[in-house]
Amino acid sequence: MAKISIKDLKFFYGSNEVIHGISLDIAANEILALIGPANSGITTLLRSINRLYELTPGARMEGEITLDGDDINASSVSITELRRKVGMVFDIPTPLPLSIFDNVAYGPRLSGNTNKQDLMVIVEKSLRLAAVWDDVKDRLSEAASSLSGGQQQRLCIARVLALEPEVILLDRPCSGLDPISTTKLEGSLEELKKDYTIVIAPHNTQQAVRVSDSVAFLLMGDLIEAGPTSEVFVTPKDTRTSDYITGRFG
Amino acid sequence: MNKDTISKMVFFILALSSISALALITGFIFIQGLPLFFKVGFANIVFGTKWAPSQGSFGIFPMIVGSVCVTLGATLLGVPIGVCCSIFLVEYCPASLSNLFRPAIQLLAGIPSVVYGFWGLLFIVPFIRNNLGGPGLSMLAGSMILGIMILPTIISISEVSLKDLPRQYKEGALALGMTHWQAIYSVLLPAARSGITAAIVLGIGRAIGETMAVIMVLGNAVALPESILDPIRTLTTNIGIEMGYATGDHQQALFATGIVLFVIIMILNSFAQYIARRK
């Protein structure tokens, strides 16, 4: 069974329909890349999986998204629980105004874990997984804002990992990063997919080729093509897909 | 001279005139007030408890205490209400309601202070006298009026500092599974801390400098207060009440009061600027 199943998803901002009925299955422990030009609905699709779209006034979805077979919009679903299962990393680093340690320990503390030693273990494990432990291990009590942009972004990934989510959504996580940080971050994704299901909006198609197992191409709110990355990039079925990945538009 | 240089000069002179007003007033206050400090002694003025200008006693300590107490009371009343109001406006309030709230708060800032004082005299003072005892004209009455008067300052500056936070702070917090209140309490408020602190300090500055409204409700007795129901006098009201008939040393003593007030407000404003700049 698919980890996440999207059925006939339509999305509206006010009366403006921005996603026109998308159906897509995301398997467990795979990295799915959502590619497409600007305004294709990629960020909206990501934000509908953890229901963060609800912050936007006038935003509304139709259709169904299930996580492990359960409708995420069901009234029995706790939105805070859902967001702990479906972590999200944003296009710009968003460290909380706290120390490095407290940023990562925040989630576990919220769910009731206050044992100092437990927290230390979780924090170290999360920072290692996010490939930022060596950068910060000697300065855990410093403000998170003192880190470089790349370190902050990996800290944000560590923060999500500390929640022990099942799915991680990454919305152009490398757009503000230098090439070295990008390489490190892509390396940690490879490591992470053993335990997590990852949906990423890469910041270019090359990144999608490098990191993803499967890929979905969106254009103006329609799903044009989806499949294993190797197939879609080598033998795209739709001419619009081949036009996009060969750089003819977008 | 080309046109550009001329226009630059015009703007420079106009800008200079606003600063020179400050320089003139400051200079005047210090020239008038400072000699008394040397004549009577700094400690006898600032720490003296007896104010009897006709007998040569110029102790303004009770007024300093009065200003501090009234302002503290206003802060205790105004800050929680103001900060909570700004949180409500930014985080909870639907747009239709905030369109009603915001102009109303602006209007609160536009009410002349004499009207506040008059309302306090006719409403708050009898209320305190009838329900809590004492003369009604009291520190409590002054604190309540000032607590209301500083609300617009605190609300509008706190609101701006909360609203200007990057939206990713809130989204990042919610995406971690925080509830809305947890996000406000542990992420948004700490992130907006410098702006909110500046708002509070500016509110305090406004409270300590207010004169007209408090003259009407404080009772103006020169004595160290023993309870919040006692009448007291502040630095500002001391000047306001006696300036009409003061001459000689007495008049200089009022300018000396002005110097003390001036220094206190300068310290508060520099503190607010320092806090607002610190990130």
- What CATH superfamily is the domain A29-47+77-245? P-loop containing nucleotide triphosphate hydrolases (3.40.50.300)
State the pLDDT at residue A250. Answer: 55
Cβ–Cβ < 8 Å for A9, A48: yes
Asked if the model's pLDDT at residue B109 lies above 80, the reply is yes
CA-based nearest residue in chain B for residue A80: B177
Assembly ipTM = 0.82
Contact list in A for residue B95 (CB cut-off 8 A) is 57
Q: Which two tokens stand for residue B98?
A: 């905030």
Q: What is the pLDDT of residue A139?
A: 92
**φ and ψ of A238, to 5 deg:** -105, 140
Task: Return the pLDDT at A176.
Answer: 74
In this structure, the number of other CB atoms found within 10 A of the CB of residue B54 comes to 7
pLDDT of residue A48: 94
Residues near B223 by beta carbon (within 8 Å), at least 6 away in sequence: B62, B230, B232
SS (H, E, C) chain B: CCHHHHHHHHHHHHHHHHHHHHHHHHHHHHHHHHHHHHHHCHHHHHCCCCEEHHHCEECCHHHHHHHHHHHHHHHHHHHHHHHHHHHHHHHHCCHHHHHHHHHHHHHHHHCCHHHHHHHHHHHHHHHHHHHCCCCCCCHHHHHHHHHHHCHHHHHHHHHHHHHCCCHHHHHHHHHCCCCHHHHHHHHHHHHCHHHHHHHHHHHHHHHHHCCHHHHHHHECCCCCCCCCCCCECCHHHHHHHHCCCCCHHHHHHHHHHHHHHHHHHHHHHHHHHHHHHCC
CB-based contact A96 B172, cutoff 8 Å: yes
Give me the pLDDT at residue A247, please: 79
pLDDT band per the 50, 70, 90 thresholds, residue B269: confident
Average pLDDT value for residue range B45-74 = 92
Test mutation, B91, B176, B180, B185, chain A, max A CBs within 10 A: B176
Q: Which residues of A205-230 are buried (b: 16+ CB within 10 A; e: fewer)?
A: bebbbbbbebbbbbbebebbbbbebe
Tell me the chain B residues in contact with residue A88 when contact means C-beta distances shorter than 8 Å: 175
What pLDDT is attached to residue A26? 93
Q: Calculate mean pLDDT across residues B124-129.
A: 95
Domain B51-277 is of which CATH architecture? Answer: Orthogonal Bundle (1.10)
How far is A55 from B276, CA to CA, in rounded Å? Answer: 29
From first to last of the 250 residues of chain A, give the pLDDT tens digit: 789 999 999 999 999 999 999 999 999 999 999 999 888 899 999 999 999 999 888 899 999 999 998 999 988 889 988 999 999 998 888 888 889 999 999 888 887 888 889 899 999 999 988 888 988 999 999 998 889 888 898 899 899 999 889 999 999 888 877 888 888 888 888 888 888 999 999 988 888 899 999 999 999 999 999 999 999 998 889 989 988 888 776 5
Whether residue B256 contacts residue B186, with contact meaning beta carbons closer than 8 Å, is answered with: no
Sign of the dihedral through C-alpha B231, B232, B236, B242: positive
Q: Give the closest-approach CA distance of A111 to chain B in angstroms.
A: 9
User: Which two structure tokens, joined as six digits, stand for A175?
Assistant: 């757009």
Confidence (pLDDT) at B230: 92
- Each residue's pLDDT tens digit, B165-216: 988 888 888 888 888 998 998 889 988 988 999 999 999 999 999 999 999 9
Residues of B in contact with A92 (CB under 8 A): 166, 168
The answer to whether A57 contacts B95, with C-beta atoms less than 8 Å apart, is yes
For chain B, the domains span: 51-277
Do B177 and A163 lie within an 8 Å CB cutoff?
yes
Whether B231 has a pLDDT exceeding 70, the answer reads yes
Q: Is A12 left (phi over 0), alpha (psi -120 to 50) or beta?
A: beta
Name the nearest CA neighbour of A121 among A153, A165, A164. Answer: A164
pLDDT of residue B124: 95
**Mutation for testing the B interface, residue in A82, A96, A99 having most B CBs under 10 Å:** A96
Position B279 scores a pLDDT of 54
pLDDT at B8: 93
CB spacing of B176 vs A83 below 8 angstroms? yes
Q: Which residue of B has its CA nearest to A165?
A: B176
Mutate which: A53, A79, A80, vs B, most B CBs within 10 A? A80
pLDDT at B84: 96
